[in-house]
Amino acid sequence: MNLDLILGILQIVLIATTPLVFAGIGELVTEKSGVLNLGVEGMMLVGAVSAFIILVITGSYFLAFFVSILSGIIMSGLFAFLVLFLMSNQIATGLALTIFGIGLSSMLGKQYIGTPIDGLSPWFFVIFSFLIVFLVSYFFYKTKAGLILRAVGESHNSAHALGYSVIKIRFLSILFGGSMCALAGSYISICYAPMWQEGMTAGRGWIALALVVFATWKPERVLIGAYIFGGVTILQMNLQALGLRFPGQFFSMAPYVATIIVLVLISSNKLRIKLSAPASLTIPFYRGR
């Protein structure tokens, strides 16, 4: 193997992994506040289509990403309203959000399929994805607000007793998650594969969900996990192209199996999982008696 080949592979891995990092870090913040949002795939699709439509209409990349993030905020806002104020079941509501997002994105994008656009270079976003992970990490472990957010995810009753607004903090965390998912979607439709096609995120939202656990709810590990996931996919393609034979399904399966193994390894140490997993995940909070 020569250096060019390796650098080339590295480039492809960076480009392919970036959407996983965005969606993963967004969902991580949401989960860290104690809310599980299974609507990642739906929010990514709506983000992807709205960025594409705005780009076609206005020609402005800035507006495209801006509106896309706005769409993520609206989608996740809907989810937040349901689970925080109406206290609906988080798992069912997240699944419903995905169904809704799949439908909404296909309907909005119908007439834009096959419109050619000029793709944007991915490198800004690749760098930004690293930056945002470190910002989130800094926020969690070096700022008071981050500490409060983690406390809310850990024990909402204690946080409430200390006078913090559980609902407000969770609301903001959900919105952040939504905007990151939408950013991941718009990166896919504008930079990664510049086009709009129905369902074009092709299951990356579900991988992002796996990623958060894989990372044991630690921001910098989302980055590592995402690159292992992305790397495995690209590596198997390279092996195939080199003429090695193996059933592709087993390589496609690898990220999921790896997640389970990592989960087992980290969870078997009860203390360690306690330190990282938000204890109040999926448990609704209400200010009743």
Q: Within positions 239 to 268, which residues make up the interface with another protein, using CB under 8 A?
A: 240-245, 247-250, 252-253, 256-257, 259-260, 263-264, 267-268
CB of 277 to another protein, least distance (A): 7
Cα–Cα nearest to 227, from 214, 241, 217? 214
Contact assessment for residue 174 and residue 80, using Cβ atoms and an 8 Å cutoff = yes
Q: Is 289 in the site for another protein (CB under 8 A)?
A: yes
Q: Is 2 in the site for another protein (CB under 8 A)?
A: no
188-205 b/e (C-beta count within 10 Å ≥ 16 → b): bbbbbebbbbeebbeebb
92, 127, 147, 162: which one binds another protein (CB under 8 A): 92
Q: Using only C-alpha atoms, what is the Rg of the chain? A: 19
Task: Compare residues 41 and 152 and give the one whose CB is closer to another protein.
Answer: 41
| Helix intervals (H) in the chain | 3-32, 40-58, 61-80, 90-109, 123-142, 144-154, 156-161, 166-187, 204-214, 219-241, 248-267, 270-276
Q: Is 57 in the site for another protein (CB under 8 A)?
A: no
Residues 205 to 234: which contact another protein by CB under 8 A?
206, 209-210, 213, 233-234
* Sign (positive or negative) of CA dihedral 131, 133, 139, 145: positive
Q: Is 3 in the site for another protein (CB under 8 A)?
A: no
Q: CA-CA distance, 85 to 235, in Å (whole number)? A: 45
Q: Is 188 in the site for another protein (CB under 8 A)?
A: yes
Q: Is 9 in the site for another protein (CB under 8 A)?
A: yes
Q: Is 99 in the site for another protein (CB under 8 A)?
A: yes
CB of 37 to another protein, least distance (A): 12
Residues 103 to 142: which contact another protein by CB under 8 A?
103-107, 110-111, 113-114, 116, 119
Residue count at the site for another protein (CB under 8 A)?
Answer: 85
